[in-house]
A and B are shown apart, each in its own frame.
Chain A
């Protein structure tokens, strides 16, 4: 275990549903990230939080809403998603978001939008 835990591991939701993904890290890191992994595409950075403050929003549609209540927890709230949003959503954390600190990933949530 790398100390980054994501729940749920799998999620199937309809386009009108509202759901949330959760990420928790026990590494004492200050920076947390959401990535989207689709088939045959690079890992896409979605959001960056540093000391609970959002420092990066990589042009993500508003139907994805992140929340970072503290440095250990990160959520991704989902609503009115589209089938093309189906993907593996990976959370990561690092000591800080400056410099070149190593990122540790969670196992991911496999999301299917029907």
Chain B
């Protein structure tokens, strides 16, 4: 079945460093790849997404890259800050009749001040 693998499961960085989280997906028909951030005790919130017709998208300190051939996509956070500490989830969807988002297992990012 469809699945999304996410690595690493935990990531600790120093404030100001960069953080990279990687995901691979199995369904080659996937064409939409969002990233969600979930702070402790709060709901997941979309932080950035990318569609299959582009290879990279950037929004201030956050960027996402997509390699459709290799079926993997990555989240890059530069100049990390303590408030970036959270669990980050990647997801993949093929769209169509149902927006069935398949989520990765999450990455706990800790930014040390």
Contacts and interface: CB of A to CB of B under 8 A. Distances in A.
Given A55-B97, A98-B97, A41 B43 contact: no
Interface of A: 2, 4, 31, 40-45, 48, 50, 55-56, 90, 94, 96-108
Interface of B: 4, 31-32, 34, 36, 42-46, 49, 51, 89, 91, 93, 95-106
Given A100-B31, A107-B42, A43 B98 contact: no
Given A43-B89, A55-B97, A2 B45 contact: yes
B105 A41 contact: yes
A43 to B, nearest CB: 4
B44 A97 contact: no
Given A99-B32, A103-B99, 17 more contacts: A2-B43, A4-B43, A31-B99, A42-B89, A42-B105, A43-B103, A45-B100, A55-B97, A56-B98, A94-B99, A96-B99, A97-B99, A100-B31, A100-B93, A100-B99, A102-B34, A106-B43
A101 to B, nearest CB: 6
Contacts of B91: 43
